[in-house]
Amino acid sequence: MANLLVAEGHEIWGTSRNLERIPKIPRWHPVRLDLADPLFIEAAFNAALTEAGYFDVVINNAGAGHFDPAELVPMATITSQFQILVFGQIQLMQLALRHMQTRGEGLIINVTSLASRLPVPFMAAYNAAKAAMASYTMSIQLELGNSHVRVVDLQPADIRTEFNQGVIKSAQANPRYDTKIARAWEVAERNMKSAPTPDLVARHVLRLVNSVQPPPRITVGNAFQSKIAPLIFRFLPQRLRLWGLKRHYQI
């Protein structure tokens, strides 16, 4: 996303916990940000805002994942998932909204996930956090009314990134779940390898940035995951949704 936006002439303030991970590219300004620390979030945003003067667009794109049975997932993992994927991003969105409402315009893109509607087995905290962020985004959209500050829920399906390499997996063996976990992970890895590249998401983000009336929600991914599956699931009873997902993940 940042590479494409910089190529289009935009100035980018890109964040990471480790500034060495941010490429040294003209018009790409590194900002250290740790979403696990609420005080850090406000300080980082204000410092970047002081340097930039104003922001036209803010993109919430932080990610973190886990792979555990919902029955056994540690509370520390659940807390961490919600801090990074919900609480920290809401705080950043609120800071951006105050700034943009004062200016009278702006765009916020919250990158949630198709998993908020089609959950991935053994990622219950991730699914729930993404669903919470999607719901919070829709609530903000309701309340803003005719404001010229737009908020978009961008829901990627599988996108070929290094996300799976960073997923925290349980080290404890459990005979009731081990076979299912192995099968589901194999499907998740196969889906990732055949998924579209991040360029697809970047092009959609550029369209949103250039749009006068961006849609409130878009789903990005291959045709089946992003268009056909959500349409089918919308009309299926919960029993059939569960059956379909179990078959897909071979559990």
Indicate the domain borders of the chain.
Answer: 54-248
- To the query of whether residue 126 is one of the catalytic residues in this protein, the response is yes
Asked if residue 233 has pLDDT above 80, the reply is yes
Share of the chain above pLDDT 90, in %: 92
Determine if residue 172 is left, alpha or beta; phi over 0 gives left, psi from -120 to 50 gives alpha, anything else beta. Answer: beta
Residue 168 has what pLDDT? Answer: 87
Q: CATH number of the domain at 54-248, please?
A: 3.40.50.720
Q: List the catalytic residue out of 54, 126, 136, 249.
A: 126
Return mean pLDDT, the chain: 94
User: What are the tens digits of pLDDT across the range 59-105?
Assistant: 999 889 999 999 999 999 999 999 999 999 999 999 999 999 999 99
Nearest to 251 by CA among 164, 180, 178, 179: 180
At 48-68, the pLDDT tens digits run 999 999 999 999 998 899 999
pLDDT at 193 over 90: yes
What's the pLDDT at 170? 78
The predicted pLDDT at position 66 comes to: 94
The confidence score (pLDDT) of residue 173 equals: 79
**The predicted structure's pLDDT at residue 57:** 98
The DSSP 8-state label assigned to residue 211 in this structure reads -
In the chain, which ranges are E strands? Answer: 12-16, 28-32, 57-60, 66-67, 106-111, 149-156, 168-169, 217-220
